[in-house]
Each structure stands twice: as C-alpha cells, then as structure tokens.
C-alpha cells in the first residue's frame, strides 16, 4: 500500500525555507563572552567525510538489492548532515570566521568550491527531503528518478565541505 506523499509537502517546503534561514541568522549571531569552539572544524569536516562515505555505501546497498540497508544508511547520512549543521553553527556562533590566506589560482579554486558548496547546500535540502519522502512512501519510480539528481548534489556538498576545510585549515 502506498502512503500519500502529499501530506509531507508542507513540511518539506517549511524545512527547505526554515533550515537555511535559521542557519543564516545563527551564523551571524555571536554568543556574548562564549569560549570559541575552535576544536569543532576538524570534527564537522570529519562528519562531512562520513556523510560522503555513507552515501556511497547507500548507493552500493540499493544497487545490490539491499533496500533495508540502503534506507538505514540514508537515515544515518541525514543524521550526519544534521550533526554537521549543528556543529558548524555552534562554531560560527562562538568563533570568528577564518579568512582564506591562499593566493593566485588556488584562491579562485577555493572560492569556487566554497560558493558552490554554500549554494548547493541550500539547494539540496528539498531534494533530500523529497527523495526521502518518495522512498518511505513507496513511490519508488519517482524516488529513483529524483535520487539520480539528489545523490550527486548531496555527495558534492559533503565532499566539497571537506575540501573547503582542508584548504582553509592552515589558516585557523
């Protein structure tokens, strides 16, 4: 029996707007007299790396026909993304942003990766939510169709987050 995915549409729209808005607001807010959480960047970069690995494992699981493992891994990847976001916001609410200190061509590469990472991290939210809802409501044809877009977007966001960290880490 197929569950009606339309009941999730309002939630998807709300979350797709609220998450980036709240992150932007919290990102610009500094907690007064808070001790900087400077230990967080390598942790949240590692969470991003784990997300990328889990996404690849989830694809392998579904391609080998293991739907339960695929679903479990996707749920873990979603939790990892939420954990990343929480740690990222906590860092930026307690610490000043680090400026990239590289020069020349590397500077352009860094900013290209950073800007595409930021834009796609916003764009991917509704894709992940729609793909997830289509999966849990057994809309499998539609799930597969959108997953072909969601997977590379989400993987790019996870991997580019790690690259941004690696490129900026010497300047912390």
Is residue 15 within 8 Å of 129, Cβ to Cβ?
yes
The model's pLDDT over 67-84, given as tens digits with 9 standing for 90+, comes to: 999 999 999 999 999 999
Is residue 131 within 8 Å of 147, Cβ to Cβ?
yes
The model's pLDDT over 139-150, given as tens digits with 9 standing for 90+, comes to: 999 999 999 999
Q: What is the pLDDT of residue 3?
A: 66
The model's pLDDT over 15-68, given as tens digits with 9 standing for 90+, comes to: 999 999 999 998 888 999 999 999 999 999 999 999 999 999 999 999 999 999
What share of the chain has pLDDT > 90, as a percent?
A: 88
Q: What is the pLDDT of residue 2?
A: 55
Q: Where are the domains of the chain?
A: 38-171
CATH code, residues 38-171: 1.20.120.80
């Amino acid at each position: 029996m197929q569950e009606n995915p339309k009941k999730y549409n309002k939630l998807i729209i709300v979350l797709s707007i609220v998450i980036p808005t709240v992150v932007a607001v919290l990102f610009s807010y500094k907690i007064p007299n808070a001790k900087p959480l400077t230990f967080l960047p390598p942790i949240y970069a590692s969470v991003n790396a784990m997300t990328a690995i889990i996404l690849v494992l989830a694809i392998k699981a579904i391609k080998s026909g293991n739907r339960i493992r695929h679903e479990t891994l996707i749920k873990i990847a979603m939790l990892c993304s939420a954990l990343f976001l929480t740690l990222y916001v906590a860092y930026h609410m307690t610490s000043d942003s680090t400026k990239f200190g590289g020069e020349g061509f590397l500077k352009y590469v860094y900013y290209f990766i950073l800007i595409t990472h930021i834009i796609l991290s916003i764009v991917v939210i509704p894709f992940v939510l729609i793909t997830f809802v289509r999966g849990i409501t057994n809309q499998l044809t539609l799930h597969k169709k959108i997953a072909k877009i969601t997977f590379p977007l989400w993987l790019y966001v996870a991997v580019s987050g790690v690259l941004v960290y690696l490129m900026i880490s010497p300047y912390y």
